[in-house]
Structure 1
Amino acid sequence: MNIQIRTRLSLMMFLEFFIWGGWFVTLGTYLANNLNATGAQSAMVFATQSWGAIIAPFIIGLIADRFFNAEKILGILHLAGAVLMYLLFKAESFEAFYPYVLAYMVAFMPTLALVNSVSFNQMKDPSRDFSSIRVWGTIGWIAAGLAISYLFEWDSLSAIKMGFLQNTFLVTAIASAVLGIYSFTLPATPPKASSGQKSSLTQLLGLDALKLLANRNFLVFFMASVLICIPLAFYYQNANTFFSEIGMANPTGKMTIGQVSEVGFMLLLPIFFKRFGIKVTLLAAMLAWAVRYLLFSYGNAGELSFMLITGIALHGVCYDFFFVSGQIYTNSKAGEHQKSAAQGLITLATYGVGMLIGFAVAGRITDAHKYLKSSGHDWQAIWPFPAGFALVVMVLFAVFFKNEKIEYKE
C-alpha cells in the first residue's frame, strides 16, 4: 500500500478510537460522581451504545451503501458528534445529559463500520494490510486513557470531586471536529450499490443470514455470543467506577493495559486457534471472563493490587479469543454471499441485543449493592455475579457445542 495512503488511514483510525476511548471508559465514574446517577440510570446511558448498534445498519445499508461516499458521511457524523459532545460537556443533570448521549451514539456507532469501509476500499489485500492499519485505533484508545490519567490527571479522586472529569467531553468534541474535517480529505469511497438497485429490508439489515441459525452448532454459538455480553457489560459499565471508588491511582491509564494485552493476544490467537481449535479458544475466553471478575472481587488497591492488574490484562484473552475468533468462525460458516450479512447479524446480536440486556442487568445488580449510609458499592458482592454468568455460559457451551475444524487465514 502507498505509504501516504497508509499514513492517512492510520491517522483516521487513531482519531476514531481516541474519540471513543476519550470519554467512554470514564463514563460510569462521571455519571455516578458528577451527575449522581443511579445504577439503573447509568445502565440507560450505556445502553445507548446498543441502540446505536441496532440503528447503525439502517444508516449504513440505507444511506452509505446506496447514495453517498463513505468518507463524506463519516465527516458529517463526526461533525454532528462534535456538537453533541459539546452539549454533553455543558449538561448539568442526568435529564439533560441522556438525550444528547443517545443522539451521539446513534451518530457514532455507524462510523465504526465507515472507517473500515474507507480502509478496505484502498486495500488490494485486506487480510494482509488491515491489521497494521487497525492497530492504530487501539493505540488511539491507549493514548486517550494515558492522557486522562497521567497528562491531565482528571480521574484522581480529588479531580473527580472538583468536576475535572467533565473535560473529557470537551477534548472528545475537539477531536471529533478534527476527524470530521479530516474525513473530507480521505480517499473517495463511493457507494457500493446504485440508488436504483432494490434490496429487501432483511438484506439491508443483514437478517437474511438468519438461515445460519438452522445449523445447531452455529445456533449454540449465537446464543453464547448474546449471553456472554451480560458479563461484558459489567466491565464497560462498572470497571472504571470500581477502580476509582477503591482508590486505585490513575485508573483510566492502568485500564489501557487491557488494550496493550489485546494487541499481544491478537498475535497469539492464530497459534492458539490452530493448535486447540475453535471450541477450546472460545471456552478459554469465557473462563478468562470468570477469572477476571473473581480477581476484581478479592483484589484491592493495596497489597493485592496485582490481582486487579491481572484482571485488566486478561482483556486480551476475553475479547480476542471470543469476539475475534467468533468473527472467524462466523465467516467460515457463512456462504460467500452471506459473509457481510452474517457479521452484521453477530454485531447486532452482541453489541445490540446482548449488551442491551447486559447493561440492564448490571444496573440492577449495582443498585442493589449500593451502600445506604455512605457513598460507594459493595464490589466484593457485585463481581461474583458476572463471574457466575460467564461460568454458566461456559458450561452450557462446553456441553452443547460440537468442536469443528475450520481454516484460519492469516
Structure 2
Amino acid sequence: MNIKLRLTVMSFMQFFVWGAWLITIANYWFGTKQWDGTQFGAIFATMGFASLFMPTLTGIIADKWINAERLYALMHILYAGVLFYIPQVETPNAFFWTMLLAMCFYMPTISLSNSISYTTLKSTNLDVIKDFPPIRVWGTVGFIAAMWVTNLTGSKASAYQFYIAGTGALALGLYAFTLPACKPTKLISEKASIVDTLGLSAFKLFATYKMALFFIFSMFLGGALQLTNAYGDVFLDEFKHFPKYADSFVVKYSTIIMSISQVSETLFILAIPFFLKRFGIKKVMIIAMLAWVFRFGLFAYGDPAGNLWMIVLSCVVYGMAFDFFNISGSLFVETSTTPKTRSSAQGLFMMMTNGFGAVFGSLISGWMIDKYFTSSFNNISAVASHVDSTADNGHLLSFVKSQGINILSDGSFDKVLFMKDWQHIWLSFTIYALIITVLFAVMFKHKHTRAEEEAIKKISH
C-alpha cells in the first residue's frame, strides 16, 4: 500500500476513535445516567490532566527505548480496553477515574501519530511540509465520520458510542503494528537534567512579560475550547423537552449538526495564509477570540425553528475560532523563541491551552452550570410553565417519565427533575470570551516582525 495512504488511514482512525464519543458523551451522562453537571466538568478535565504529563512521558519512551509505532499501537489497544469497560461503570466517581485512565492512553497518541508521520515521510524522502497537511486533514474527516456513525446508529445517548470507539481503537492498534519502523533516536542526552528532559525549561519564558502574557491568555482561551465540545450536542438534544421542537431535524440529528463545526475547521485552514498576510499575527488572534464570542452568543439565541440559522452560523464560525488562534499562536511562539527553546515552548503552548486551560474551563463550567443555571422541578405544572404552558400534556408526561421520574396522583414527582437554562449558560460564556478578547487587545503589545513575515510566506506557499 502507498505510504501516504497508510498514514492517511492512521490519521483518519486516530480521530475517529475520539469523535465517536467526545461530542455525545454529555447525552450519556445527563440523559442515560442522569448524573450532575459539576462532576461532568471533571470528566472533560481528564483530557487536560492527561495532557499535562502523558505526551512528554511517552515522547521520552519513544525517543529512548521503544519504536514509536509499537508504543502507539499498545496505547490504542489499552485505550480500547478501557472504552469497552466504561459501560460497566455505575458511579460518577468511578467514571472519572476510568475516563482519566482512557485519556492517559489516548492523549499521547495524538503527538505520537504526528511523530510517526514525520519520521516515515522523511525516511521515504517525501516533503513533510507539502505531504503532511493532506494526510492530517483526514483526521478531521475521521472525527466527522465518527460523529455521523454515532448519531445515525442511534448511539448518541447510549453506551454503544464507547463500543464504536473501542472497536475502532482496537483495529487501529493492530493496524499500527504494520506501519514502518520508527526506531528510538536516543537524542536525549544522558547528562540532561530532569528539567530539560521533561521540557520544563520552557517555563523560563514566563520571565518575559510578553511571553508570560501570551501563555496566560492561551490558558484562559483554552478554557473555552472544550465548552461546545462538552455541552454543544446535549444543548441541541435538550430542545426535545419543548413540544414545538421535539420532532425537529436538529433534535434528531444534533450530532450531525455539530459536525458542521469540524467541516468548517477544514475549510478555514485554507483561509489562514490570507488572513495572516493581510492582518498579521496579533489581529488574527483577536479575530479568533471574537469568533468565540460569536460562537457562544449565536448558541444563546439559536433554536431549531426560526433561529436555526444562528445554530448553523455558530458551527461555521467555530472553524475560525479554533484554527486561527491555534495556528497564529503557534507561529508567534515559533518566531519569538530561540532554536534551543522552540520545541519546548511549542509544548508549553499546547500544555497551557489543552492542559491547564482545559482543566480550568471544564471544572469551572461544570460547577457554574450546576450551581447557577440548573433549575429543579417538583411537579408537572411547574414543568409545563417552564417549557410551554400551552404544550400538549401527553408530551410533557412522557418526557418526565423518560427521565425515570414517576408522577403521583396530585401531579407531584417522586424525585426532583433538573433542567438547564441554556440561554444564560451560553451568554455567560459569551461574556467570558468578550472580556478575554478586550483584555488581550489592550494588554498584548505586539508589532509585526520580519521573522513573522518570513514564516507567513512559507505558509502561503
* TM-score bracket for the superposition, by shorter chain length: over 0.9
Distance 2:203 2:286 in 1: 24
TM-fit CA distance, 1:195: 7.6
- C-alpha contact (below 8 Å) 1:61/1:204 kept by paired residues: no
Q: Does 1:176 align with 2:174?
A: no
Distance 1:299 1:222 in 2: 33
1:220 is matched with 213
- C-alpha contact (below 8 Å) 1:68/1:191 kept by paired residues: yes
- C-alpha contact (below 8 Å) 2:225/2:322 kept by paired residues: no
User: Match of 1:37, as an amino acid?
Assistant: W
1:385 is matched with 428
> Which digits, 9 at most, give the CA deviation of each residue in 1:106-129, with x for residues without a partner?
111110110000000022432212
Q: Percent identity?
A: 35
TM-fit CA distance, 1:292: 1.3
Distance 1:177 1:198 in 2: 38
User: Match of 2:275, as an amino acid?
Assistant: F
- C-alpha contact (below 8 Å) 1:61/1:205 kept by paired residues: no
- C-alpha contact (below 8 Å) 1:231/1:387 kept by paired residues: no
TM-fit CA distance, 1:196: 6.9
Of stretches 358-367 and 213-222 in structure 1, the one that deviates more from structure 2 is 213-222
Q: Does 1:398 align with 2:398?
A: no
**What TM-score do the two structures reach when normalised by structure 2?**
0.83
| Equivalent residue runs for 1:20-39 within 5 Å | 20-39=18-37
2:337 is matched with 334
The structure whose Rg is larger is: 2
User: Match of 2:442, as an amino acid?
Assistant: V
Distance 1:87 1:234 in 2: 26
- C-alpha contact (below 8 Å) 2:268/2:323 kept by paired residues: yes
2:409 is matched with none
- C-alpha contact (below 8 Å) 1:14/1:140 kept by paired residues: yes
1:17 is matched with 15
TM-fit CA distance, 1:55: 2.0
Between the two proteins, the alignment pairs up a number of residues equal to 399
Tell me, what secondary structure is at the counterpart of 2:339?
coil
| Equivalent residue runs for 1:142-291 within 5 Å | 142-150=144-152, 152-155=153-156, 160=157, 165-193=158-186, 197-247=190-240, 248-291=251-294
2:361 is matched with 358
Q: Which residue, 139, 142, 149 being the options, matches 2:141? A: 139
Q: Which residue, 314, 317, 323 being the options, matches 1:314? A: 317
Tell me, what secondary structure is at the counterpart of 2:338?
coil
Change (3 A) 1:147 1:213: same
1:43 is matched with 41
Tell me, what secondary structure is at the counterpart of 2:190?
coil
- C-alpha contact (below 8 Å) 2:222/2:352 kept by paired residues: no
User: Match of 1:118, as an amino acid?
Assistant: I
> Which digits, 9 at most, give the CA deviation of each residue in 1:146-166, with x for residues without a partner?
11223x1333xxxx4xxxx21
Change (3 A) 1:75 1:362: same
> Which digits, 9 at most, give the CA deviation of each residue in 1:23-55, with x for residues without a partner?
111111211112222111101111110111012
2:50 is matched with 52
Of stretches 14-23 and 217-226 in structure 1, the one that deviates more from structure 2 is 217-226
Instruction: In structure 1, list runs of 5 or more residues that go unmatched.
Output: none
Distance 1:277 1:6 in 2: 33
